[in-house]
Chain A
Amino acid sequence: MAAYADEGPLGQLVAWLTDPGHWTGPGGVPTRLLEHLELSALAVIAGIAVAVPAGLVIGHTGRGAFLATSVANMGRAIPSYALLLILFPVFGFGLGAPLVALLLLTIPPILTNTYVGVRSVDRDTVEAGRGMGFTARQILLRIEARLALPLVLAGIRTAAVQAVATATLAALIAGGGLGRFIVDGFARRDEGQLLAGALFVGVLAIVTERVFGFLERRAVPPGLLSGRGAEVATPGAPVGAGRA
Chain B
Amino acid sequence: MKYKILIVDDSELTRKIMTKTLSMTCLDIGEFIYASNGREALKKLDENWIDIVFADINMPVMNGIEMIEKMHEDGILKTVPVVMVSTDGSQARIEELKMKGIRAYIRKPFKPELVRDVVNDLLGEK
Q: Do A and B come from one complex?
A: no
Q: Which residues of A contact B (CB under 8 A)?
A: none
